Amino acid sequence: MSVEKMSSPVGGSRAYTYLVSVVAAVGGLLFGFDTGVISGAIPFVSEHFRLNAHQEGFTVSNLVIGCIIGALVAGSLSDRFGRKKILIASAVFFIVSAVLSAVPRTIVELIIARFIGGLAVGAASVMSPMYIAEIAPARIRGSLVSLTQFTIVIGILLTYFTNWLVVDIGPTNWRWMFGLETVPAGLFLAALFIIPESPRWLTKKGREDEAFTILARVGGQDTAREEMNEIRAMMALEEGSVRELMNPGLRKILIVSFLLAFFSQVTGIDSVVYYAPKVFMYAGFATTNSAYLASIMVAVTLAVFTVVAMLTIDRFGRRPLLLIGPAGMGISFVCAGLAFQSGTVNGIWVLVPIITFIAFFAMSLGPIPWVFMSEVFPTKIRGRAVALATMVLWVSNFLVAQFFPWFIETLGGMTYFIFAGICFITVVFVVTMIPETKGRSLEDIERMVMKSR
The answer to whether 363 and 146 have CB atoms below 8 angstroms apart is: no
CA atoms within 13 A on the CB side of 241: 5
Q: Which conformational region is residue 439 in: left (phi greater than 0), alpha (psi within -120 to 50 degrees), or beta? A: left
The confidence score (pLDDT) of residue 182 equals 93
The answer to whether 428 and 356 have CB atoms below 8 angstroms apart is: no
96 φ/ψ angles, rounded to the nearest 5 degrees: -60, -45
The confidence score (pLDDT) of residue 7 equals 41
With vertex at residue 20, the alpha carbon angle to CA 14 and CA 21, rounded to the nearest 5 degrees, is 85
| CATH number for the domain running over 12-195+238-451 | 1.20.1250.20
The confidence score (pLDDT) of residue 434 equals 87
Rounded Cα gap, residues 151 and 72, in angstroms = 22
Q: According to DSSP H, which parts of 193-317 are helical?
A: 199-204, 208-219, 221-237, 248-266, 269-273, 276-282, 288-316
Burial class of 409 by CB neighbour count within 10 A (0 to 12, 13 to 18, 19+):
exposed
The dihedral formed by the CA atoms of 395, 279, 27 and 388, expressed in degrees to the nearest 10: -10
Q: N- to C-terminal Cα distance for the chain?
A: 38
Q: How far is CA 305 from CA 159, 247, 354, 423, in A?
A: 18, 37, 14, 18
Domain residue ranges of the chain, discontinuous segments joined by +: 12-195+238-451
Residue 183 is which amino acid?
A: V
The answer to whether 33 and 157 have CB atoms below 8 angstroms apart is: no
Number of H helices, E strands in the chain: 20, 0
The confidence score (pLDDT) of residue 189 equals 95
Residuewise pLDDT in 10s, the chain (453 residues)? 333 333 444 556 788 888 999 999 999 899 889 877 887 888 889 888 988 877 887 887 788 889 889 988 988 898 889 999 999 999 999 999 999 999 999 999 999 999 999 999 999 988 998 899 888 887 788 888 888 878 888 888 888 788 888 888 888 889 999 999 999 999 999 999 999 999 988 988 889 899 999 888 888 888 888 888 888 877 776 555 566 667 666 778 888 889 999 999 999 887 877 666 666 666 666 556 666 677 778 778 888 998 898 888 888 888 999 999 999 999 999 988 888 776 555 667 777 888 899 999 999 998 899 888 888 887 767 777 888 888 888 888 888 877 887 787 788 778 889 999 999 999 999 999 888 877 776 667 667 666 655
For residue 436, give the DSSP letter.
Answer: P
Residue 165 is which amino acid?
A: L
B/e letters for 25-36, b = 16+ CB within 10 Å, e = fewer, are bbbbbbbbbbbb
Smallest CA-to-CA distance from 383 within 199, 141, 126 is with: 126
Question: Would you tell me how many other CB atoms lie within 10 Å of the CB of residue 163?
Answer: 25
